């Protein structure tokens, strides 16, 4: 079901919500004039609850949008997001729209600040990673009265449109492939997950599928910060020292998986005969490894392309028009077996 276009929130909405004059609301939000602490707190709380963002565009432009699209992502160092940005940029290249990128470092409070500043310039649309946001961020997105596309993940309820993959399904698919090859003693390595919701959902899908087959993860380890390649080496060495009987290692991303592969090859361990490996993301940079790591493509560039097309289509609609499509798109990634996950062969 599509969400109808909304009008932007105004000073009057905030004024009515907190019971003070529009002039007082304006003074508080512009940090001008003498306003009591109690009144200031009341206004700021009402504005935050509503998702109201002041308009930074002055004078004759105040009722218009600028040809900018806010793109809010958690990281630029993560190899996933440059490919998403490539897809977005290619769509907008021959149009008046220009993407402007904000980075949140996987921190909900930083996401609030970044989105607040971006919306204050009245962009023509928002593309934002993930479905999990603070209440304040969701309120801003719902009441921005512009097209919003949440990307990368479809396991949840979007504010408006969504383009991504089901990470829980991806985890289940990888578990099924591993079990089909006969592996039973499985270890897992990944990033710390309280704020990496997509990795958490893959892990949940993975463990759910294993449990249905009567298999449990026998060892697990999580990391944060530092070189993922080096961490993959370190964690793999530590895990196999603790649990030498493991016959498969599943990594939450390809970079730590590549580190694990390099460690195993250095140790002369037979991959995939003695130990199988798999990662996630389908990072092309790793194609030059001595063995091709089994992985799953996250459809990164396609996600960026489709999200930008939704923004382009909807930003061109008249204010009272309804979009033709729902804007809910779930892509289906495929497993690449590479050289580290044996293919099933009937005897």
Predicted confidence (pLDDT) per residue in 268-319, tens digit: 999 999 999 999 998 877 777 889 999 999 899 999 999 999 999 988 766 5
- Backbone φ and ψ for 207, nearest 5 degrees, come out as -70, -30
- 146 or 287: which carries more pLDDT confidence? 146
Whole-number pLDDT of residue 326: 65
Choose which CATH entry (3.40.50.720, 3.40.50.2000, 3.40.50.2300, 3.30.70.1350) describes domain 168-298.
3.40.50.2300
pLDDT of 83-106, one tens digit each?
999 999 999 998 999 999 999 998
Residue 72 near residue 111 (C-beta atoms within 8 A)? yes
Whole-number pLDDT of residue 346: 44
**What is the CATH topology of the domain spanning 60-165+301-331?**
Rossmann fold (3.40.50)
pLDDT of 42-87, one tens digit each?
888 888 888 887 776 654 454 467 889 999 999 887 778 999 999 9
Cis peptide bond upstream of 272, omega within 30? yes
Whole-number pLDDT of residue 283: 82
Q: Which of 4-13, 110-119, 169-178 has the lowest mean pLDDT?
A: 4-13
Residue 175 near residue 294 (C-beta atoms within 8 A)? no
Whole-number pLDDT of residue 168: 97
CATH of domain 1-52: 1.10.260.40
CA gap 269, 63 in Å, rounded: 65
CA gap 21, 11 in Å, rounded: 9
Q: How confident is the model at residue 338 (pLDDT cuts 50, 70, 90)?
A: very high
- Return the bridge partners of 276, or none: 248
Q: How confident is the model at residue 5 (pLDDT cuts 50, 70, 90)?
A: low
Residue 175 clears pLDDT 90, i.e. is over it = yes
Residue 4 DSSP code: P
CA gap 206, 211 in Å, rounded: 9
Mean pLDDT of the chain: 88
Q: How confident is the model at residue 26 (pLDDT cuts 50, 70, 90)?
A: confident
Domain ranges (residues) in the chain: 1-52, 60-165+301-331, 168-298
- 279 or 322: which carries more pLDDT confidence? 279
Note whether 60-165+301-331 and 168-298 share their fold.
yes
- Backbone φ and ψ for 313, nearest 5 degrees, come out as -65, -45
- 193 by Cβ neighbours in 10 Å (0-12 / 13-18 / 19+) ranks as middle
Whole-number pLDDT of residue 60: 44
% pLDDT > 90, the chain? 63
Residue 323 clears pLDDT 80, i.e. is over it = no
Residue 281 near residue 262 (C-beta atoms within 8 A)? no
């Amino acid at each position: 079901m599509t969400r109808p276009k909304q009008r932007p929130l105004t000073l009057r909405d905030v004024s009515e919500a907190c019971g003070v004059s529009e002039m007082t609301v304006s003074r508080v939000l512009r940090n001008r004039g003498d306003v009591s602490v109690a009144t200031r707190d009341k206004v700021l709380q009402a504005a935050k609850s509503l998702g109201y963002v002041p308009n930074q565009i002055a004078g004759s432009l105040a009722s218009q949008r600028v040809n900018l699209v806010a793109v809010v992502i958690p990281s630029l160092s993560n190899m996933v997001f440059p490919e998403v940005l490539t897809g977005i940029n290619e769509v907008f290249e021959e149009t008046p729209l220009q993407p402007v990128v904000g980075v949140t470092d996987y921190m909900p409070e930083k996401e609030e600040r970044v989105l607040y500043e971006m919306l204050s310039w009245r962009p023509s649309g928002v593309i934002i990673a993930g479905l999990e946001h603070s209440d304040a961020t969701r309120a801003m997105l719902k009441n921005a009265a512009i097209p919003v596309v949440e990307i990368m993940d479809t396991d949840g309820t979007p504010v408006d449109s969504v383009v991504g993959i089901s990470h829980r399904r991806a985890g289940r698919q990888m578990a099924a492939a591993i079990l089909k090859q006969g592996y039973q003693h499985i270890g897992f390595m990944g990033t710390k997950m309280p704020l990496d919701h997509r990795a958490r959902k893959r892990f949940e899908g993975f463990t759910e599928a294993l449990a249905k087959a009567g298999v449990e993860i026998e060892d697990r380890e999580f990391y944060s910060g530092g070189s993922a390649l080096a961490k993959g080496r370190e964690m793999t060495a530590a895990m196999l020292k603790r649990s030498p009987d493991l016959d498969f290692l599943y990594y939450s991303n390809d970079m730590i998986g590549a580190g694990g592969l390099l460690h195993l090859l250095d140790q002369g361990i037979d991959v995939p005969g003695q130990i199988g490996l798999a990662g996630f993301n389908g990072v092309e940079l790793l194609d030059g490894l001595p063995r091709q790591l089994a992985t799953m493509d996250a459809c990164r560039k396609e996600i960026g392309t489709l999200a930008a097309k939704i923004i382009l289509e909807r930003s061109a609609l008249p204010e009272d028009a309804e979009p033709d499509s729902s804007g809910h798109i779930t892509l289906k990634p495929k497993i690449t077996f590479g050289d580290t996950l044996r293919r099933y062969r009937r005897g």
